[in-house]
Chains A and B, each alone.
Chain A
């Protein structure tokens, strides 16, 4: 058992992190907020050229030929950068929809619960979207439609990649909170010196680390019960982390200018994907009766 990142996996993670730092930094994130509903096609093609959508596609089919663990690392970085777009749908379409693997085609999909992200920007939509109604999306970076009556079984890979994005967003929340706690001074010292703030930050990290172990393990086993567990813990880490990050930022955290709300809103949106946490909890409960507790 060597349950830690290999050198190659570290290099892959650092590569994706570097690409996103160059092409989707904080200024780009805020620019995207200012023109909602528009996808950066050039960036999408760059992601495609870097192999982001083709990570699991066999080399014989023009893909990168890697596995779920590597894909999870890439999606974690996307979640950390708060990268917008139908990333999971396009990744799942690679090899099935022409141009998806290369990032030439933007693919949206009807989710198990009937929501569609990025419907109007997509070139191809997987699923039946007749009668789709636009929602005023809570997340300024994710346009949403609802398809009445649509419901399907959740794809475990979609659940896992969503969990990986949540893990990345949780990590970002922890980093932002700690940065602010070190820099912001009140009562003559950094607020991070006060136990009340210190303990919020410690709990942020604890949730991130527990979620990380669960998400990476699920990527290795690809077991649907492990994936359900990863999802619950990653949701908790992302939503709880963004909330605590907002609290550490105080009044500033409640403003549109601070990035914290963007983390929380995206995290909320992802908790509704693929049947939501309820479906995962029921799956994990049923597993206990089949002896899975042991």
Chain B
């Protein structure tokens, strides 16, 4: 067991740290959360900056260990989050890289890396919920096109996306997990309507997408027709694998800030609150160690993230909610003022036990695929 950087990793870390120190002070101010075009431009601009410095493909090419260092150092330095690029960089890109043809990789991957195109995820549907395979959006062949009708929901960044990784049902007679196909749909195609949804935090983070006979060329299909469920599992393993790594680093920073604030406003003297902050320190230290453990295991097994991601996501999503509930205790009455820091984070943390597979679904995955318990009701 070893927690120290290898000489190559240490060199990568030092080089990255030095570069971040130079480039971050030159960045433009962050746009407001409701300014979607501004956010798109800002996030893509950061991706372009990474591209020019040779860091754009760190999520795809580098070893998991190097990826961990990248996420750790960028978060510590306060660099921009992947933002509007997250579906392209973390889900669609790796999926196309693993399952796409040479032409598809050449068409879609470079614009993602250069920060030119934004992707969104068209997986969830209003009536399917956590039962992803229950999707009903239909697609049928018409010459060289698929014609798609149906609707998607909880689609992050749909308003500013150029492409959508879309799951459609191409064989309605097939069993539930078969007859599904993975398509790359251009978001400017006729027949697409995007309706923003307001979250409980008050902002428009995601949208409903209505599809009315949208034509998608057959050449935009990734993987075989009716083989989309398998392709989707590849996408989801990336989603649950290391997608939250940078956030753990951020939570540790917030925890330190909470302690300072508690001492400033006198609540540090409450031993119950103080010990709760201490217990959260243990929690996030352990989550960081679990990340390092999972990454080391993944590296030993050839780099693919495993079901250990479900274990991590279960605990992390809960810990994040506890962190911001504790922040509310530190703030006292001020926790009811949405202009105060951490209050919006508390609201948005409520999505963590739901998004990317609810905690209930993750527990089924852990119980069935790791512990080998029988499938059932």
Contacts and interface: CB of A to CB of B under 8 A. Distances in A.
Chains A and B are bound partners: yes
Contact of B256 (A195, A217, A221, A288): A288
Contacts of B18: none
Contacts of B315: 206, 210
Q: Is the interface of A mostly helix, strand, loop or mixed?
A: helix
Interface string B249-290: 000111111111001000010000011011101111111011
Contacts of A35: none
Nearest to B362: A202
Interface stretch (A1-9, A101-109, A260-268): A1-9
B35 interface: no
Contacts of A209: 290, 308, 311
Contact of B257 (A192, A198, A293): A293
A5 B300 CA distance: 11
A202 B363 contact: yes
B244 to A, nearest CB: 14
B5 A202 contact: no
B23 interface: no
B314 A214 contact: no
A278 B282 CA distance: 12
Given A213-B289, A214-B282, A285-B259, A1 B2 contact: yes
Given A285-B281, A288-B278, A5 B259 contact: no
Q: Is the interface of B mostly helix, strand, loop or mixed?
A: helix
B374 A6 contact: no
Given A232-B282, A289-B259, A282 B368 contact: no
B366 A181 contact: no
B9 interface: yes
Nearest to A229: B282
Contacts of B268: 289
Contact-residue size bin, chain A (C-beta under 8 Å from the other chain): 35 or more
Given A199-B363, A202-B363, A214-B282, A1 B375 contact: no
A182 interface: yes
Nearest to B364: A198
A164 interface: no
A5 B311 CA distance: 19
B3 interface: yes
Nearest to A284: B278
Contacts of B373: 178, 181-182, 190, 192-193, 197-198, 201
A4 B286 contact: no
Interface of B: 1-6, 9, 65, 68, 76, 252-260, 263, 268, 274-275, 277-279, 281-287, 289-290, 292-293, 295-297, 299-300, 308, 311, 314-315, 360, 362-364, 366-368, 370-377
13 contacts: A1-B65, A2-B1, A3-B2, A192-B373, A195-B376, A199-B363, A202-B367, A214-B285, A229-B285, A281-B282, A293-B259, A294-B76, A294-B256
